[in-house]
Amino acid sequence: MLVARSIDEFRNLTPPDAVVAATIGNFDGVHRGHRELIRVTREKAAARGMALGRKVPAVLVTFDPHPVHVVRGIARPDLLTPLPRKLELLERAGLDAVLVLPFTREMAETPAELFVREILVETLHATDLVVGFNFALGKGRAGNYTALRALGESLGFSVTQVQPVVVGKETVSSSLIREHIRSGNVENVVPLLCRMHSVDGEIIHGQARGRTLGFPTANIDYGNVLLPPLGAYATWLQILADGPKAPPLQSMTSVGTNPTFGGGVITLETNVLDFSGDLYGKTVRLHFASRLRAEITFKSVDDLVARLRGDAEAARAALRRTPGEPLH
């Protein structure tokens, strides 16, 4: 999958006479709704390619950093998928190319018509645009479906609106998935994401307190990824250097502040069950399978250790019910 991080780079990497089928959006999570947009975009690209007798790529225009970082001034937006993970999932979904545009205040103030002319027409040479049911772009979100169709008629591209994807009684969206995660309902996101919610990060040195308790933990530098609420979780751990087909490891994980020892910043610490290797410095992917309990302040270290033993058994039982699929 071709990845360009500027307009100039995209132009340099593609033939001057190339045309594309495009979709636009932040695509945080690359959830089932996003996958449907990609499927329709690929379908439009294939149909256009048949008509023209040549390959027409399916392209996503996305943004980095997340727009809320700029528009709302949020320093650490709660992401479902930071850019590297998002690009990995987009490639698996079958896109041919992604144009990652730097999102700035200037871009936030760009009128929809100017964005369409500069990006879709002059840069991508888009023949087809696929958008979601609630999509809008440009200053004041003026570039809605109706406006885009009018622009398409005058500038020479077709616009297709994809209807919402509904799972059970829920309309799939990034905001809905965040709501479930913030509520601790990590199991509920699996049918929406087609996988468990996960966090990538490097194992860093922590307080090493777990080792003295008989439950050594790996402290994960989790960056800007959304964490579920404070508590204990049954999780699967993948060591990314071992490759995507390496079997995941059972683990129990604490999202917490260590209140029994005086509290502090929120940390993400995982105890890999029945594992004795050294994880320091490795990059891992932690998948949240099930919430075991809320964070507790224990009266004594002995009470904490006893509860950790119970958590380990509860995690094993939960992971038997939620095998290490779907992880990707």
Cis peptide before 326 (omega within 30 of 0): yes
Q: What tokens appear for 251 in the block?
A: 């683990």
Annotated catalytic residues are 269
Q: What tokens appear for 250 in the block?
A: 């059972």
Predicted TM-score (pTM) of this structure: 0.92
Owner of token pair 């879709």: 120
pLDDT in tens, the chain (328 residues): 999 999 999 999 999 899 999 999 999 999 999 999 999 999 999 999 999 999 999 999 999 887 776 776 665 558 999 999 999 999 999 999 999 999 888 988 999 999 999 999 999 999 999 999 999 998 889 999 999 999 999 999 999 999 999 999 999 999 999 999 999 999 999 999 999 999 999 998 766 555 556 688 889 999 889 999 999 999 999 999 887 777 899 999 999 887 665 567 889 999 999 887 788 889 999 999 999 999 888 778 888 888 889 999 999 999 988 765 556 6
Cis peptide before 229 (omega within 30 of 0): no
What per-residue confidence (pLDDT) applies to 301?
81
What per-residue confidence (pLDDT) applies to 65?
84
SS3 37: helix
What per-residue confidence (pLDDT) applies to 245?
74
> How far is residue 105's CA from residue 62's CA, in Å, rounded to a whole number?
16
Query: Sign of torsion, CA 119 124 129 133?
Result: negative
Strands 97-102 and 58-64: parallel
What per-residue confidence (pLDDT) applies to 322?
74
